[in-house]
Amino acid sequence: MYENLKLILDSSDAPEPGAFEWRSPSNIAIVKYWGKHGDQLPRNPSFSFTLSASFSQMRLDYEFKEVPDNEIDLTFFFHQQPNEQFAAKIKTFLERLRPVFPFLSQLKLTIHSENSFPHSAGIASSASSMSALALCLCSLEDHLFSTLRVPEEFDRKASYIARLGSGSAGRSIYPYASVWGTTSVMPGSSDEYGVGAESWLHDTFKDFHDDILIVSKAEKSVSSRAGHALMEGNPYADARYGQARKNLSLLEEALKSGNVEEFGRIAEDEALTLHALMMSSNPSFMLIEPNTVALIKKIRAYRADTGIPVFFTLDAGPNIHLLYPGSVVHEVRSFIESDLKHLCENEYYIQDWVGEGPEEV
């Protein structure tokens, strides 16, 4: 939808070398995207909180090529080190984006990328890194052609590009929260890009925490790409897509009215459904670990005993995301220290919270 062959540089007016740098956060889905079709289009709409402490920082340097060719010329550094594996992935992605950004093959590109969290912490970095890359590319386009001056248009294109890189990354562009996928409950929503969902949030949800309990740092045994693909033969797929739509509309009401209990019920329902779908795929697979289940039982028992509103969600992996309002941060942190931390790999967990979205550095 953004193909534009006019975005070509005039060699008689070559731009000076320059750079753009963005810091972009990860996000945590409350209503999950699981199942896709076509070019990374979702089977159901999803909702996420934008995180804060877990981010990627990326700098894109560019200079005009002396000798023109039709290639993507990219050098890639991850935490200061050349990284051939990441370079190859990003290069393939940039090649795919040539119809959208035809000027890319006129430039020599260098990317420096870093994550705020350890690479092998069991946290997916695709949402933060793909959104950071999309933002750098849109800044570059706007600098060279002045085409994205309207902030809403800039965000929408950045979200579209991020989504092509990794579906859920399209939701990292916005402060606080985002909806991705066409739904009647969010005017302007689209399968092609995420939109901001700050307007859905009662103040309680703008001060919300997501502490990530690292149950295992090991790489996932099944990629999310393979997991999405297995939804095509899943006997529960249609019921699932209907459930996600229903949950999204219930979630909208809970978020607007500040109903933390209902929010938590939906978050846990979505997390367990996601993993039930994995277990009911053919072939089936399981990403939770014994300590994931142990933690879930402890969280539910603590909530029942104390009345403190603390809930969990899960990504496509074994780690627990502990969701709770800022008003109970002291209680929950001491609960983590005394009862939960020892079930994490090397007692490692990350304190994160709902944040204000990407920042240009």
Say if residue 283 is preceded by a cis peptide, omega within 30 of 0: yes
Tell which one of 44, 168, 259, 292 touches ligand PMV (CB under 6 A): 168
Contact 25, 54 (CB under 8 A): yes
The answer to whether residue 29 forms part of the interface with ligand PMV (CB under 6 A) is yes
In the chain, where do the E strands start and end? 18-31, 36-37, 41-42, 46-64, 73-78, 81-82, 107-115, 177-180, 194-196, 208-213, 311-314, 320-325, 349-350, 359-360
**Cβ distance 56 to 113 under 8 Å?**
yes
Nearer to ligand PMV, 105 or 125 (CB): 125
Count of residues that bind ligand PMV according to CB under 6 A: 13
Q: Which stretch binds ligand PMV (CB under 6 A): 31-39, 103-111, 185-193, 302-310?
A: 31-39
| Binds ligand PMV (CB under 6 A): choice among 189, 224, 247, 291 | 224
158 binds ligand PMV (CB under 6 A): no
CB 321 within 8 Å of CB 49: no
Q: Does 33 bind ligand PMV (CB under 6 A)?
A: yes
Closer by beta carbon to ligand PMV, 106 or else 168: 168
Give the range of 16-24, 165-173, 246-254, 290-298 binding ligand PMV by CB under 6 A: 165-173
Q: Using the rule CB under 6 A, give the single segment among 162-170, 187-195, 246-254, 336-344 that binds ligand PMV.
A: 162-170
Measured CA to CA, the distance from residue 60 to residue 24 in angstroms comes to 14
Q: Which of 24, 26, 44, 46 binds ligand PMV (CB under 6 A)?
A: 46
Using rule CB under 6 A, residue 325 touches ligand PMV: no
What is the rounded end-to-end Cα distance, in angstroms, of the chain? 29
Q: Is 167 in the site for ligand PMV (CB under 6 A)?
A: yes
User: What residues contact residue 6 under an 8 Å CB cut-off, 6+ apart?
Assistant: none
Residue of 315, 318, 336, 343 interacting with ligand PMV (CB under 6 A):
315
Contact 344, 214 (CB under 8 A): yes
Residue numbers of the site for ligand PMV (CB under 6 A)? 29, 32-34, 46, 126, 166-168, 224, 274, 315-316
